[in-house]
Each structure stands twice: as C-alpha cells, then as structure tokens.
Homo-oligomer: A and B are copies of this chain.
Amino acid sequence: MSGQTIKYLLQERDIPTHWINLLPDLPGEPLPPLHPGTLQPVGPDDLAVIFPMSLIAQEVSPEAEIEIPEPVREAYKLWRPTPLHRARRFERELDTPAHIYYKYEGTSPAGSHKPNTAVAQAYENAQAGIRRLATETGAGQWGSALAFACSLFGLECEVFMVGSSYDQKPYRRSMMQTWGATVHRSPSELTNAGRANGSHPTGSLGIAISEAVEVAAQREDTNYSLGSVLNHVCLHQTVIGQEAIAQMAMAEEQPDVVIGCVGGGSNFAGLAFPFVRNVLRGGARMRFLAAEPTACPTLTRGAYRYDFGDTAGLTPLMPMYTLGHDFVPPPVHAGGLRYHGDAPMLCGLVRAGVIEARAYAQNDAFAAAVKFARCEGLIPGPEPSHAILAAIEEAEAAREAGEARVILFGLSGHGHFDLSAYDAFLAGGLEDPEFSEADMQAALARLPEVPAIA
C-alpha cells in the first residue's frame, strides 16, 4: 500500500455553507405532525412553548438549502471538516475487491456526530434570548453534545440523566459537568414528573424527557432541545454527507452503497440525505442501507403508524415506523439505537423503497467492531458497529460478485465510553437479547386512533 492515500482531508473553507433540506425533494406531500391532545395537525405556535421560532421554521421549511449561520460555522471549525478514510487494511483483512470508505465523526469534542445539531440549536436559542436549555440523556452522548454546545454560546444547560445511567456511567456525567452543565439524576425532586415517579428509582428515558419538557414549558427563559428524529435535527447533520461528497470526489469514486446505523435517524440522514437528493434528482443510482439492532428492529419489523416521538406521549405524533412509544426495547449496549421510532423523513424513504434496512445481533456487531479496530486502529462506538457489520456483508457480496464495488459507511463515534461492553464481549459474556413481537403488538395496540395515513 506504499504511497496510497488513506485519508481524504478538507480544509476549513470546505465546511459546507448550507444545510441540505430534503423535505422539498421528497415524493408526495409530507404528512403533518399531530397535536398529542387534539390529534389535529400542529401549527408553529404549538411548538413555540419549547422551541425557538427559527428552529420551527427550519422544521417545516420548503427551501432546499438553508444557510448555516456564521457563528455556527465558526463553532464547526473546532473539529470540522471531519476525515474520510479509505479502509485499506480492513479491505485486505476481508479479502474483498470492494473499496471501503468511512466518514469519521468521532473527532468532535463530545465524540460523535451529535454536536453538529447541538451547536446549531444552542446558537438559535441564544439568538432568541433563551438563557437555558433543558434536555434528557440516556447513555450520555446527547447530553454531552448539548453541554459542549451550550458552553460555546453562553447558555446554561440542564440535563436530566436517566437514574440507572447516572449511577453506572459517571464518566459521561463528569464530561457534561466539565463543560459546565448541571446534571440531575432522574427522577428528580425538581419537577412534578420527577416527584410523581419517585417510585421508579432507576428512572427511564420517558421520565427524563417529561422532566426536561416540563422545565422548558414552565420557565420563560428555558427551552427544550432534541438530539434526533426531527426534521431540523436531520437538516443540521447534512454537513456530514456534503463533506463526504467532496471527499469521495477527491478519491475520484462514487459510492455504490451508503451505509449508516439508525437510532432516531439523524446520523443516517446526515450522511445519506445529500447523496439521496442527488439520486432523487436523477443523479447516478446508488443504494442506501440502514443498520439497526435486532433488539430494536424499528425499520425491519415495526409498523408504519402515527406515534409519539417520546415514551411519555408528550410530543406531537409523527408518521413513522414504530414499535409503539411505550414498547421497551431489551437492553443492548448500543443505547443510541434503542428508540421505538425513527425520523419521519427517513421512514418515508424506507417506505418508498429508496432506503433498505437490515437488523443485526449485538454479538455480531461487536465482532465486526473488534475486527475493524485491529485493522484501522479506531475503536468504534457500539452504534456504528452495526454499520461496520453491514459494510462487511456488502464487501463479501462484492467478493462473490467479483466486483470492485464502492462502499461508504458512517463511523458516527468512538467507543471510549463503551469499553465495559467490549470487555463483556471479549470475555464471551455479552447477551443477544430477544425482541418480543408480542410486546410490540401490544404497544402498537395502545396507540391512539388517528386520521388514516395515505
């Protein structure tokens, strides 16, 4: 491999100037979100209690491109552009004629793609005169990103962290505190939702969301912030795919397949949507592959229904593949993929056949991650390990076909805070928890009746 290029590196001036909004390019009229109380379409005013108008405008914008505010672009410069790697050692290990590329988002201060939207949201809230953002966090990835972003724009950050994670993952908590955030163990004594759930000492994501939303709704100077699923979150993440397009051009290749893991969908959207738009506009054909865990198989086994974005049923209902908002996925270490639904834009594209989806078992994903780490050095987070496994399958298919196919996958974050999971895997003690079809059907049966979906 002497003299061969491994990384395709851009300069700061190559950081995108606009986000790509896929909404106007999607086939058909988008289905509106519904008010959780009235089940009627929500208007901007319904959302203004917890979001600034500028983000609400982005959520429903008909513009194909939205300019990135200069202060956000300046904040991106702290770690962007991120590298695109050609995984040459991994290709040799897999003995494949495929060319495997990966876009690495783990160089951000918080260690994942999450800050791409966190800094945008913190900026817009600061511009709107908001003094404080409240949010929930499970494993801590989103809370870390928002804590970092708030430190850049002089906002206070209040994070309600699921009690069991608060106890088991003290390092993510310390990380948020290092950036100046206040971290509450949820359920807390600070909110009605917390006090009402004092009998659940380990907490849940649903309770933590309820606490954060309550704080945001009650305090004039406080807003709520969400790390995935919504259109404006997917929008902010499209800096990833735009950079990747420029970097693939440096490599003088076009991907045959673009792969990402899917939890709420914003990581996948960020990498894939700029490529998807080219395809929808008649550009060169390519495949898109979403990788999810068998323990939480939203896209591969869920129903396409209107459902709440959160476990507690406080947010608007959105049209998406879902396992039912109160379905509790069995525990897997890829905490970021344990979400009952998926971003409506992404779900629409899966339904339209533009995006394929596959589900993978936890042990298989970790085996792929270890194989990758021993070739490429980087230790992947458990979430993107699912994308690595999908890339391995595609590389094997290319070998069987005898074709030098081009594979691009998203390595959305590192696994520095997930080494106990690696330890369990290497010791042979990692479980592959079963998904319960019956529990999903029961959860789906509890969904409210809403207007029929076309």
Output the least CB separation between A365 and chain B (Å).
14
Which among B5, B111, B177, B375 is the interface contact of A423 at CB below 8 angstroms? Answer: B177
Could you tell me which residues of chain A, from 337 to 384, have a CB within 8 Å of some CB in chain B?
370, 373-379
Which among B12, B85, B108, B174 is the interface contact of A420 at CB below 8 angstroms? Answer: B174
Question: Are B416 and A417 neighbours in the complex by a CB distance under 8 Å?
Answer: yes
Q: What number of A residues sit within 8 Å (CB to CB) of B? A: 51
Question: Are A171 and B420 neighbours in the complex by a CB distance under 8 Å?
Answer: yes
Which among B11, B174, B417 is the interface contact of A9 at CB below 8 angstroms? Answer: B11
Binding-face segment, A43-51, A74-82, A280-288, A296-304: A74-82
Which among B78, B171, B420 is the interface contact of A419 at CB below 8 angstroms? Answer: B171
Question: Are B419 and A7 neighbours in the complex by a CB distance under 8 Å?
Answer: no
Determine the residue in chain B with the shortest Cβ distance to A144. B379
Residues of A at the B interface (CB closer than 8 Å) are: 1-7, 9-12, 70-71, 74, 77-79, 85, 89, 107-111, 148, 151-152, 170-171, 173-175, 177-180, 370, 373-379, 416-417, 419-420, 422-423, 426
B-side contacts of A6, CB under 8 Å: 12, 74, 77-78
Output the least CB separation between A3 and chain B (Å).
7
Per the bound structure, the CA–CA distance linking A107 and B85 in Å amounts to 14
Give the most central of A6, A89, A178, A379: most B CB within 10 Å.
A178
B-side contacts of A175, CB under 8 Å: 379, 419, 422
Question: Are A77 and B178 neighbours in the complex by a CB distance under 8 Å?
Answer: no
Question: Are A423 and B179 neighbours in the complex by a CB distance under 8 Å?
Answer: no
Question: Are B109 and A377 neighbours in the complex by a CB distance under 8 Å?
Answer: yes
Per the bound structure, the CA–CA distance linking A151 and B110 in Å amounts to 27
Question: Are A79 and B377 neighbours in the complex by a CB distance under 8 Å?
Answer: yes
Known: A7-B12, A174-B422. A416 touches B111 (CB 8 A): yes
B-side contacts of A174, CB under 8 Å: 419-420, 422-423, 426
For the A-B complex with A109-B379, A151-B373, A175-B379 known, give 16 more contacts whose Cβ atoms are closer than 8 Å.
Answer: A2-B70, A4-B74, A9-B11, A89-B152, A109-B373, A151-B374, A151-B377, A170-B420, A171-B420, A174-B419, A174-B420, A175-B419, A175-B422, A177-B422, A178-B419, A178-B422
B-side contacts of A378, CB under 8 Å: 78, 109
Question: Are A7 and B111 neighbours in the complex by a CB distance under 8 Å?
Answer: no
B-side contacts of A376, CB under 8 Å: 78, 109
